A and B are shown apart, each in its own frame.
Chain A
Amino acid sequence: MPPGRRPDHNPGLPLAGPRAGPGTACHRAITLRRCVSYSLYARLARYGFRKHATYVAAALAGAFTNSVFGVLRAYILIALWQARPGLAGYDVTAAVTFCFVTQAFIGPMQLLSGGLTLPERIRTGDIALDLVRPAPLQLWLLAEDLGRAAYQLLVRGLPPMLAGAAVFGITAPRDPARWLGVLACVTAGVVVSFAWRYLVCLSVCWLADDRGVMVCSMLLTTLLSGMMVPLTLFPGALGEVVRALPWAAMAQAPADVYLGIASAGPALAFQAAWGAALLALGALATRAVRHRVVIQGG
Chain B
Amino acid sequence: MVRTYALLAWTWTRAAMAYRASFVIMTVLGVFITATDVAVILVIFSHTTALAGFTRDEALFLYGSAGLSFTLCDMFVSNVDKVSQHIKAGTLDTMLIRPVSTWIQLAADRFALTRAGRVLQAAAVLGYALAVLDLDARRLWMVPVMLVTGTVIFAAVWTLGGAAQFLLTDAPEVINSFTYGGGQLTQYPLSVYGRDLVRGVTYVLPLAFVNWQPALYVLDRDDPFGTPGFVRFLGPVAAAVLALLAGLAWRQGIRHYRSTGS
Instruction: Among A60, A78, A84, A229, point to the contact of B48 (Cβ < 8 A).
Output: A84
Contact B36 A79 (CB under 8 A): no
B19 to chain A, nearest CB (A): 6
**Which residues of A are found within 8 Å of B185, using beta-carbon distances?**
72
Closest 10 CB pairs of A and B: A61-B171, A61-B173, A57-B170, A68-B177, A83-B48, A57-B171, A79-B192, A61-B174, A212-B25, A79-B52
Contact A61 B51 (CB under 8 A): no
Contact B36 A68 (CB under 8 A): no
Contact B33 A64 (CB under 8 A): no
Contact A62 B173 (CB under 8 A): yes
Contact B173 A209 (CB under 8 A): no
Tell whether B50 is near chain A: CB-to-CB under 8 Å: yes
Tell whether A222 is near chain B: CB-to-CB under 8 Å: yes
List A residues 215-240 near B (Cβ within 8 Å).
Answer: 215-216, 218-219, 222-223, 228-229, 233-235
CA distance A61 to B175 in the complex (A): 9
Q: List 10 A-B contacts (CB under 8 A).
A: A58-B173, A61-B168, A64-B177, A71-B197, A75-B193, A80-B48, A208-B22, A209-B19, A212-B29, A233-B46
**Chain B 117-150 per-residue mask, 1 if CB under 8 angstroms from chain A, else 0:** 0000000000000000000000000000000000
Tell whether B40 is near chain A: CB-to-CB under 8 Å: yes
Q: Which residues of chain A have a CB within 8 Å of any CB of chain B?
A: 55, 57-58, 60-62, 64-65, 68-69, 71-73, 75-76, 78-80, 82-84, 87, 208-209, 211-212, 215-216, 218-219, 222-223, 228-229, 233-235
Instruction: Among A65, A216, A223, point to the contact of B181 (Cβ < 8 A).
Output: A65
B165 to chain A, nearest CB (A): 11
Q: Which residues of chain B have a CB within 8 Å of any CB of chain A?
A: 19, 22, 25-26, 29, 32-33, 36, 39-40, 43-44, 46-48, 50-52, 168, 170-174, 176-177, 180-181, 184-185, 188, 192-194, 197
In the complex formed, the residue of B with least CB distance to A63 is: B173
**Which residues of A are found within 8 Å of B26, using beta-carbon distances?**
211-212, 215
Instruction: Among B40, B52, B193, point to the contact of A228 (Cβ < 8 A).
Output: B40
B9 to chain A, nearest CB (A): 19
**Which residues of B are found within 8 Å of A57, using beta-carbon distances?**
170-171
Q: Which of B43, B51, B188 has the most CB of A within 10 A?
A: B43
In the complex formed, the residue of A with least CB distance to B172 is: A61
B257 to chain A, nearest CB (A): 19
In the complex formed, the residue of B with least CB distance to A87 is: B47
Q: Which of B39, B170, B173 has the most CB of A within 10 A?
A: B173
CA distance A62 to B177 in the complex (A): 9
Contact A223 B39 (CB under 8 A): yes
CA distance A83 to B49 in the complex (A): 9
